Amino acid sequence: MCGIFGVVTNQDIPIGKIALEGIKRLEYRGYDSVGIVSQFNGKLFIKKDAGKIDEVHKKLKLDDFPGKVALAHTRWATHGAPTKINSHPHTNCTNEIAVVHNGIIENFMTLKKELIQNGHNFRSDTDTEVIPHLIEEKMKEGFDLKDSIIEILKICKGSYGLAILHVNMPDTIIVVRKESPLVIGIEPGKTTYCASDI
Ligand code: GLU
């Protein structure tokens, strides 16, 4: 179990403060690590570490992020110790795709071995990290982000709530779920949220 919170807006609002406030309300779902990513000017900005949200916030200023789209995650580790490197979000080799995940990718070891053989660099011990690398592979084949996600989930076994950002898509979060909870909240024409709990 873990907490996912995402926000994408066209309003002039402090994206980091909203991401932090949202993920704090989900801390009951997982509290060994926390991470936030935002997208701004074609770059991903990531802060993450092991520890309770308030402790990590004191060190890293989790309310300070540029841009209009952000994802936040509070982890309850299933694969890989609760460390900074295993904290979510996880990214692909080129740091263009960021993923937060609630659940377990059961066949991640097989997928990881294949990806390593194809030259991918893994940084964490998590099951989750296969997701951004698999998406990268599909995008290389010419699929767009959404279709890549649809394709790779055909080969991923297990449960997931996933929220995904791409460096070239400043107004988009892609979410998908199977067994794990994920809800979407819409302020029409302004701001859209996703979260693992209403
Ligand atoms: N399986 C993932 C991990 O261990 C996600 C765990 C969770 O749902 O908090 O990092």
Tens digits of per-residue pLDDT, 30-73? Answer: 789 999 999 999 999 999 999 999 999 999 999 999 999 999 99
Report whether residue 73 contacts ligand 1, using a CB cutoff of 6 Å: no
Task: Check: pTM over 0.95? Answer yes or no.
Answer: yes
Tens digits of per-residue pLDDT, 145-158? Answer: 999 999 999 999 99
Reduced DSSP (H G I as helix, E B as strand, rest coil) percent helix, strand, coil of the chain, to 5:
25, 35, 40
Report whether residue 35 contacts ligand 1, using a CB cutoff of 6 Å: no
Query: Given the structure tokens 């693992």, which residue do they identify?
Result: 196
Q: Which of 34, 74, 79 to mutate to test the pocket of ligand 1 (most atoms within 8 A of CB)?
A: 79
Q: For position 28, what pLDDT does the model report?
A: 86
Q: Which of 4, 31, 88 to mutate to test the pocket of ligand 1 (most atoms within 8 A of CB)?
A: 88
For 78, other C-beta atoms within 10 Å of its C-beta total 16
What's the DSSP call for residue 139? H
Tens digits of per-residue pLDDT, 70-83? Answer: 999 999 999 999 99
Nearest atom in ligand 1 to 101's CA: 5
Q: For position 29, what pLDDT does the model report?
A: 82
Helix (H), strand (E) counts: the chain: 5, 10
b/e 131-144 (16+ beta carbons within 10 angstroms → b): bbbbbbbbbeeebe
